[in-house]
Structure 1
Amino acid sequence: MMEMNFNQHISGQFNADLEAIRNQMMGMGGLVERQVSAAIEAICGGETSGADDIIRREDEVDSMEVAIDHECTQILVRRQPAASDLRMVLAVSRVVRDLERIGDEACKIAIHTLEVADARNTQICQQSLRYMGAEVVKMISGALDAFARADVDGAIEVVRNDKLVDKQYAAALRELITYMMEDPRSISQAINILWILRALERIGDHARNISEQVIYLVSGTDVRHTPLSEIEEQAATKDDSKS
């Protein structure tokens, strides 16, 4: 784990700029995490009012992405940062992009929740939805915590959990297909559930992307599109070199 320290700069304003974009990103992350939690509660608990609120707040998430990305651009132009400072700015810019997309997926869940709200049978894949939902919320929280603490081990754990979400998604799809075959009248509702499951799986992917930026921030290694086994091997090698 690396301590984030901006005290080495001569310019106190540069320190403040870096800390500000980091804090704004974490604030956006907190909002997005709450949006996802509320979306899962809406579909599992039938809370249509909660779904409406999620849809209304999507513009707030979009505005935060634009504002933070603008601040990152201004820092690049004014400060021309190098080394770890440049990685911080780039990582924040990439993370807010994934956070915005997580917000989009939460909105999709809310929209499909409204579609199924008056359905005859609202119990399709309920257990799978709860399991996947709990796991992706844990991934978002873990990814943000790893970024806040510059914790590579925590980031790798989130990447591992993405594999679990993928397995849950595959199992839920099999369950959904079986349900549609047994009761063709449920196909319309099942399609909405399918899109919700897909949104949860995509949220897991974006949480993994955020964790990959933690590894980049700390080590300078770009691990995007890198298999988990290679990420773990690289981390173990660096730990051994420190021993």
Structure 2
Amino acid sequence: MNKETEGFSQHISQQFNAELEEVRTQMLEMGGLVEKQINDAVNALINGDGNLAEKVRDSDQAVNQMEVQIDEECMRILARRQPAASDLRLVMSINKIIVDLERIGDEASKVAKRALHLVDEGQSPRGYVECRHIGAHVRKMVQDSLDAFARLDSDLAFAVAREDKIVDQEYKTAMRELVTFMMEDPRSIGRVLNVLWVLRSLERVGDHARNIAEQVIYLVIGRDVRYKGLKSMEATIQEDQGEVGKS
């Protein structure tokens, strides 16, 4: 390879790396925005803040636009660069993660919508403690899944997947308690139903955070762990770490 060709190849490689870093940064920025949406939506509910709820709903359009832009950039990279191995996994993982981030934004918007209903109808007599607790739990899951991506940390990603099972249990417990309360006080049904829908949205946020964590594991170890139970997922990660230790 002559000097001129060598320099050209290096330039292309540097440009490719810059493109990968840009799309990675954009995805993390999108993640930061949806994380804020969750936090603001729950605060709007707890505090009966209609203005904050409206801001959450307005920001949903920005999240949608970010998904479109990142998706288009990923498609351009795949078409022009034809990445292989870890670079291909990075682009494919980002392309899937942004779908889950957009859906988290949708769920935050639904929480904000219910918050607005409760501003109009009067606060629910029950359920706000559960919303605050589960809301904080799933927001942390989203934050940790994004941190796991940024640090390429499969152990932290697995911890997020494990937390999803705990959120599911918390959600079921809260649902049972609120349904019992509605049976005892039928006058509260309309308002408590809004809270039940909020809890359902928050539980789905946890599901999407787990999906992101699974994509991080795929990115790091190159193994698809979707639809696997926690024990199988953990064994796959440990197996990969053992192989890395031997090499």
Shared fold, TM over 0.5: yes
TM bin, normalised by shorter chain, reads over 0.9
- Mapped partners of 1:158, 1:229: distance in 2: 14
Amino acid of the structure 1 residue aligned with 2:58: R
Matched-pair contact (CA < 8 Å) for 1:116–1:189: yes
Change (3 A) 1:9 1:202: farther
**Pair 1:23 & 2:6 matched:** no
- Structure 2 spans left out of the alignment, 5+ residues: 1-9
Partner in structure 2 of residue 130 of structure 1: 132
TM-score by length of 1: 0.94
- Mapped partners of 1:50, 1:120: distance in 2: 17
Runs of 4+ in 1 over 3 A off after TM superposition: 118-121
- Mapped partners of 2:20, 2:175: distance in 1: 43
How far apart are 1:120 and its partner, in Å?
4.3
- Mapped partners of 2:84, 2:240: distance in 1: 22
Count of aligned positions: 236
Q: Does 120-129 or 188-197 show the bigger shift?
A: 120-129
- Structure 1 spans left out of the alignment, 5+ residues: 1-7
- Mapped partners of 2:52, 2:38: distance in 1: 11
Amino acid of the structure 1 residue aligned with 2:226: R
Q: Percent identity?
A: 51
Matched-pair contact (CA < 8 Å) for 1:124–1:190: yes
How far apart are 1:122 and its partner, in Å?
2.7
Matched-pair contact (CA < 8 Å) for 2:126–2:178: yes
Q: Does 116-125 or 106-115 show the bigger shift?
A: 116-125
Partner in structure 1 of residue 182 of structure 2: 180
Aligned-CA RMSD value: 1.3
1:49-106, Cα deviation, whole Å (9 max, x unpaired): 1101011111100000000000000000000000000000000000000000000000
- Mapped partners of 2:50, 2:174: distance in 1: 23
2:75 to 53, 73, 76: 73
- For the residue of structure 1 that corresponds to 2:83, the secondary structure is coil
Matched-pair contact (CA < 8 Å) for 2:44–2:112: yes
Partner in structure 1 of residue 191 of structure 2: 189
- Mapped partners of 1:234, 1:71: distance in 2: 31
- For the residue of structure 2 that corresponds to 1:57, the secondary structure is helix
Specify which structure has the higher proportion of helix.
Answer: 2
Partner in structure 2 of residue 60 of structure 1: 62
- Mapped partners of 1:175, 1:228: distance in 2: 28
Counterparts of residues 94-109 of structure 1 (less than 5 Å): 94-109=96-111
Matched-pair contact (CA < 8 Å) for 1:169–1:201: yes
How far apart are 1:25 and its partner, in Å?
0.1
TM-score by length of 2: 0.92
Matched-pair contact (CA < 8 Å) for 1:9–1:15: no
